[in-house]
Structure formats: C-alpha cells, structure tokens
A and B are shown apart, each in its own frame.
Chain A
Amino acid sequence: CSESDLGPISLNWFEELSAEAPP
C-alpha cells in the first residue's frame, strides 16, 4: 500500500491520538 491510499502516516500516532482524544 502507498501513503496516498492510507493518508498521511505518523510514527507517533498513539501519543498524538492520546493527546487529542477526550480524557
């Protein structure tokens, strides 16, 4: 799969989503 199929990829997705999600 390419990045265009899946959208921008972040290696730190877990930390980023944890910072953004409601507590």
Chain B
Amino acid sequence: TDAAEQLTPVLPDGPREESLQFVSELKDSWCACAVDVGSVWWAAAGRRELRVVTASESAVSLWEPLAPDCWGRAYTWHLTEVPVIQIVPLPDTCNLVCVALGELEIGEIRLLLYSSETDSFKHSVVKTGNIKAVVGLKDRRLVCSSRTMQEQQVEMVLLSETGGSKNRQTLMPPEDTVTAFAEVEGIREALVGTTAGNSVVVWNLKTGQLLRKMHVGYSYPASICHRAYSDSGLLFVVLSHPHAKESESPGSPVFRVVAFNPRSGRSTGVMFSCLPPGPAGYLEGDVWDTAGAAVLTSGAVAVWDLLRGRCTAVLPAGPAGHWALARWATGGAVLLAGRCSGTVHLYRY
C-alpha cells in the first residue's frame, strides 16, 4: 500500500491551492544542510511501502512511516569520503537507493542497499569517472555519460539486486556533451538525451545505436530533458529551461513540451509552462508524467500541468523558510518539498 495514503491529512500552513494536499512532515534534526530528497519502494516483512530518502553531504537516510504523520529514520548510510551530490531515482526498483557523489561534478555512483543474506545495510560503487549526466531507468537500468580529455563515454549498466552490475552496454556518444537523459514512455529500448549543443538525441538501448540528433532551436539554450513519450509516430519531450529568469517574468517558459518527428528531425512546440506572476526565477525542477514542479528563486515551489501549460499550485516560502528541493515521489501523485534544514513535507497531488 502507498504509505502516504495511510497518513492523516493535516493542513497547518498548507498550499494556497487545493490541488496540493498536505499529508505529513518529516524532520531531520541531524541534518546540517539537505542536498536532495527522494523516495524508494521498500519491501520488508512481506509488504512493499513507499519510503522517503533524504541526503546531506555526508549521510543518506531512509525514512519509514511509523504512524500517521510520524516518520522514523530506518537507517542511515554514512558516506564521509566524498560528498553526496544527488539521489538518482530508480523507477519501479525495490530496496535499492542510488546516489551520485563528487566535489563539483559527479565522480562516482553508488548503490545503497540492505542485504538479507548478511542482514546488513551496505553500499557499493557501480561507476566512477568524470560523470556529466546520469539517469535511472525501469528494470534496474542506469545510464551515465562521462568524459575524458579525449572522448565521451555513454554506458548503460544493468544492476543486480545485490548492488553489483550484471551487464554493461556502451551507447554511441554524440559529438557534444550529454547534459541529461530521459526514459521514453511507450518504447522500453529507447532513450533520449539533451546535449550541450542544445540538441535532443535518441538511442536504441539494446543495440547502443545513436539513432537521431535533432536541434532544439536557438530560442531556448541549455535545454534539459526530463521525460519523453512516444505517441502517434511523434516523440514528445518535456524540456526545462534553466535560463528562465525573473527578469523575463511573467511569460518566461520554465517547461516546454516539444513534439519531434524522429523521421524528419523536425519539431514544434506543443505547450509552454511559464513562471507564475511575481519576481521569481527558476532554480531547479522535476517532472513526473505530465506534472512539473520547480523551486523558484523566491523560495516558493510551483507546480504545473504540463499538457495544459497551467500553473496549478504554489507552495509559498512561508515563515519556516524557503523551499530548496521539489521532487515527485516514485509512482507520482506525491510531491516531496524540502528545506535546507532537512524538513520535508509530503503533499498529495
């Protein structure tokens, strides 16, 4: 069962719009500065439940629901050698947490897990290098792009349940650096990426072939892909635009849905999701299905229906502080909003 559904809704200083419903709060009193928040399906004692994962630079904690509106730390992995930079979501994977570590850029990817054989929590390195982009895909697959002085390597790693790598497949790299990857809903073996040259590239994960490189256009530089959907012969890609700044608001698109025809390489914008009115720019965002969420420079979190291009909810910064993180939980429908202090709010969307 979905852990969030077991929790009693409470509305202390909740969102302004009804589309986000406050579910519960989780407070990490140890946390000096939260760097990421996420969720993972966890199976224990014959049941599978949604657990929350919080990361600071030196520790990653797994939280379990103990009672309505009460979360307890189930375990903490201490990672003191290299700082944690982000949690890498692994959709539909159980009992595995993936994290990226590094100084300014990602230097290694680790899996954090519980081993029932030894009844212990442990972690293992699955990839090292100068990693530029990483994504977790369904069926325990992980794709990374890394760079040496001479060349770029793009690789898919099939993860084992015990935290190792079962198989590796090299993907043909494009000429310019890959900045982000996104799984393609509707075609299991397809993967899209965005590049530093503002192109969308498409791979065949089974063969490693680079199938297509399509330019996004000059109007929206440094586009980052979040999701892709194949439908009716078109490839719909959700892009965010990190340069959406307050100086351009309102009307500056944070997210765009762009339809690409992979056969011709031509594209057209389908829908824009713009900054809500007010002096705030885009800091970072996350997309699940057709819902986008972003932290704004004002410390608020905004949520959009990306197919309608409508901002559907805003979580204001409030007296307790600015929001720093906004992530959709695995399986969608639950938004995790985090503050630097380590406090995380769960909202049902």
Given the known interface contacts A10-B233, A21-B204, the answer about A5 and B211 at a Cβ–Cβ threshold of 8 Å is no
A6 to B263, CA, bound (A): 9
Query: How distant is the Cα of A5 from the Cα of B258 in the complex, in angstroms?
Result: 13
Interface string of B176-200 (1 = CB under 8 A from A): 0000000000010110000000000
Q: Knowing A1-B259, A14-B187, A14-B204 touch, does A7 contact B211 (C-beta < 8 A)?
A: no
Query: Does more than half of chain B's interface fall in helix, strand or loop, or is it mixed?
Result: strand
Interface mask (A2-23 → B, CB under 8 Å = 1, otherwise 0): 0001111111011011100111
CB contacts (< 8 Å) of A13 on chain B: these are 233, 235, 261-263
Q: Smallest CB–CB gap between A20 and chain B, Å?
A: 8
Q: A17-B212, A21-B209 are in contact. Are A8 and B264 (CB under 8 A)?
A: yes
Q: Give chain B nearest CB distance to A19 CB in angstroms.
A: 10
Q: Given the complex, which residues of A lie within 8 Å of B259, measured CB to CB?
A: 1, 6
A14 B211 Cβ-Cβ under 8 A: yes
Contact A18–B204 (Cβ < 8 Å): yes
The interface-forming segment of B82-90, B239-247, B266-274, B294-302 is B266-274
A16, B189: Cα distance in complex, Å: 14
User: Which of B190, B209, B233 sits near A11, CB closer than 8 Å?
Assistant: B233
Is there an interface contact between B263 and A7, defined as CB atoms closer than 8 Å? yes
B26 contacts chain A at the CB level, 8 A cutoff:
no
Q: Are A14 and B230 in contact, CB atoms less than 8 angstroms apart?
A: yes
Is the C-beta of B169 less than 8 angstroms from some C-beta in chain A?
A: no
Least CB distance from B170 to A in Å reads 12
Docked Cα-Cα span, A21 to B70, in Å, equals 53
Asked if B232 CB lies within 8 Å of chain A CBs, one says: yes
Q: Decide: B261 and A9 in contact? CB cutoff 8 A.
A: yes
Q: Is the CB of B261 within 8 A of A14?
A: no
- Asked if B33 is at the interface (CB within 8 A of a chain A CB), the reply is no
Contact B266 A17 (CB under 8 A): no
B interface residues, Cβ below 8 angstroms from A = 187, 189-190, 202, 204, 207, 209-212, 230, 232-235, 259, 261-264, 266-268, 270
24 pairs, A vs B, C-beta closer than 8 Å: A1-B259, A5-B266, A5-B268, A6-B261, A6-B267, A8-B264, A9-B233, A9-B263, A10-B233, A10-B263, A11-B233, A14-B187, A14-B189, A14-B211, A14-B230, A14-B262, A16-B263, A17-B202, A17-B204, A17-B211, A17-B212, A18-B211, A21-B204, A23-B209
Using A9-B233, A17-B212, A21-B210 as known contacts, list a sample of 8 further A-B pairs with CB atoms less than 8 Å apart, ordered by residue number in A: A8-B261, A8-B264, A9-B263, A13-B233, A13-B261, A13-B263, A17-B262, A22-B209
